[in-house]
Amino acid sequence: MVRKRSAAAIIGIGQTDWVTDWKRVRAGEKPADSVGYAAQAFQQALKDSGIPKGDIDGLIVGPTTAYERMGEVLGLNVRWGGQADAVQSVLQAHMAIEAGYAKVIALVYGNDQRSAGTQYGGPAAMGGGSFLSYVYHSPWGMTSQGALYALTARRYQEERGMTEADMGEVAVAQRAWASMNEAAIQRKTITVDDYIESRYVCEPLHVFDYCLVNDGGVALIIADAEYAKKMSPNPVSILGTGRSDLNTGATSLEPRLTDYYLPAQQQAGKDSYEIAGVGPEDMDGFLVYDSFSVHVPLALEGYGYTEVGTVKQFLTEQGIGPGGKLPVNTHGGHLSESYMQGWNHQLEAVRQVRQQAGARQIENAKTIHYTSDVAGKCMSIIYGR
């Protein structure tokens, strides 16, 4: 099936103060709940967009909040809406706009995971239950996603001839970007030696390989391209999208442990490149969902930024940090900026294309690529002008 370039653009973005709330939560305070964080971010996004709230006729909320309650709190009676994670929210919004279900859609996310003591490991992780079969496979003794990705990282390092120091280049580069980002929670630069000397959480993963766990909110406003052009001075277009799923073996973790998502990433990348009319060589920056650092080298190979088997050389000789060949996770990502489950990456894409990223701005950035992989599902979005 031939697909065309999306007729949707982001016209507004907003976020909460992750750094201040991080400090307040660590001091024992409870600044807000998930809905409250989302509402704060929405107000910022609405202000940034400059449009009347009454023009919003669509709403998608993150999986951490109830759709109906969020609409009630925000005062939005919409004709179309739903609930999805970050990348699927963007994909669903632009499909809804193209299908004529809505013209202006608010995407809002809030999470009080830190102050609420959300568990991401053990039998009570995120409530437990069979729906988590895609995350933890109990016959293998997996107790957390860290255990899963430690197994993935170990095999990947062995097959690619990578050392822990090579893998450490990801965390070091992202912390270097975060050091230039006032919104980042962790801004102190680290070296590869710091990485090697840091404690293991689940070997071979060090503490710097793990994402943060913090409270916060993010909001985006996505609109029909014609409306965006009329109402916004700097809309950021969704140039191309792609998705490919590896369902066979997904609940036994097989796609993560054998092919590292490679076939799905290659297909999702091919589709999004063709629609956007660009290739990996045309990208000014690459944003990768990074709950763990190992996502980054997998994506570099999967989306054609380096040939399969050469990611070690790409990381150590060409680089993904400031001054490197390919800027990756220029906000610091989940490892250093904030764990907003992929939502903060969308903000960074918009800021880079708008030329609003401050000290970490990629010179003349016009095209930014975002990718996310979850349980065998690989999704790709290309943002630009």
Counting DSSP H helices and E strands in the chain, the numbers are 14, 11
pLDDT-derived band at 376 (thresholds 50, 70, 90) equals: confident
- Asked if the structure places residue 92 within a domain, the reply is yes
Backbone phi, psi, residue 341, to 5° = 50, 45
- Asked if the structure places residue 161 within a domain, the reply is no
Dihedral over Cα of 280, 307, 147, 141: its sign: positive
What six digits make up the tokens of 100? 């004529």
pLDDT-derived band at 135 (thresholds 50, 70, 90) equals: low
Check: CB of residue 117 under 8 Å from CB of residue 26: no
Instruction: Please report the pLDDT score of residue 134 as a whole number.
Output: 46
Give mean pLDDT, residues 305-331.
Answer: 98
Instruction: Please report the pLDDT score of residue 143 as a whole number.
Output: 72
Q: What is the mean pLDDT of the chain?
A: 93
**Structural domain range at position 80:** 8-117+212-384
pLDDT digits (tens, 9 = 90+) for 282-298: 999 999 999 999 999 99
Proportion of the chain in helix, strand, coil states, percent, rounded to 5: 45, 20, 35
Check: CB of residue 21 under 8 Å from CB of residue 184: no
- Asked if the structure places residue 49 within a domain, the reply is yes
What six digits make up the tokens of 99? 């299908």
The CA distance from 71 to 80, in Å, is 11
Tell me which DSSP letter residue 182 carries: T
The verdict on whether omega for the bond into residue 204 sits within 30 degrees of 0, i.e. cis, is: yes
The CA distance from 169 to 300, in Å, is 13
pLDDT digits (tens, 9 = 90+) for 245-289: 998 877 777 788 888 999 999 999 999 999 999 999 999 999 999
- Asked if the structure places residue 188 within a domain, the reply is no
Instruction: Please report the pLDDT score of residue 255 as a whole number.
Output: 81
Q: What is the rounded (10 degree) CA torsion for 179, 185, 188, 191?
A: -90
The residue among 374, 380, 346 whose CA lies nearest residue 14 is 346
pLDDT-derived band at 161 (thresholds 50, 70, 90) equals: very high
Residue corresponding to tokens 């449009």: 51
pLDDT digits (tens, 9 = 90+) for 323-357: 999 999 999 999 999 999 999 999 999 999 999 99
Residue type present at position 147: A
Beta strands per DSSP E along the chain: 8-15, 58-61, 80-83, 104-111, 200-202, 205-206, 216-224, 236-245, 285-288, 367-374, 377-384
**CATH number of residue 216's parent domain:** 3.40.47.10
pLDDT digits (tens, 9 = 90+) for 174-231: 999 999 999 999 999 999 999 999 999 999 999 999 999 999 999 999 999 999 999 9
Give mean pLDDT, residues 357-382.
Answer: 94
Q: Which helix (H) or strand (E) holds 91?
A: helix 86-99
Share of the chain above pLDDT 70, in %: 93
The CA distance from 241 to 264, in Å, is 13
- Asked if the structure places residue 295 within a domain, the reply is yes
The CA distance from 60 to 68, in Å, is 10
Instruction: Please report the pLDDT score of residue 131 as a whole number.
Output: 47
Instruction: Please report the pLDDT score of residue 1 as a whole number.
Output: 46
Question: What total of structural domains would you count in the chain?
Answer: 1
The CA distance from 315 to 305, in Å, is 11
- Asked if the structure places residue 72 within a domain, the reply is yes
Share of the chain above pLDDT 90, in %: 85
Residue corresponding to tokens 């014609």: 226
- Asked if the structure places residue 151 within a domain, the reply is no
The CA distance from 168 to 175, in Å, is 11
Instruction: Please report the pLDDT score of residue 137 as a whole number.
Output: 61
Partners of 245 in the β-ladder: 377
pLDDT digits (tens, 9 = 90+) for 7-56: 899 999 999 999 999 999 999 999 999 999 999 999 999 999 999 999 99
pLDDT-derived band at 119 (thresholds 50, 70, 90) equals: confident
Q: Is the pLDDT score of 126 beyond 70?
A: no
* The length of the chain, given as a count of residues: 385
- Asked if the structure places residue 162 within a domain, the reply is no
Tell me which DSSP letter residue 78 carries: -
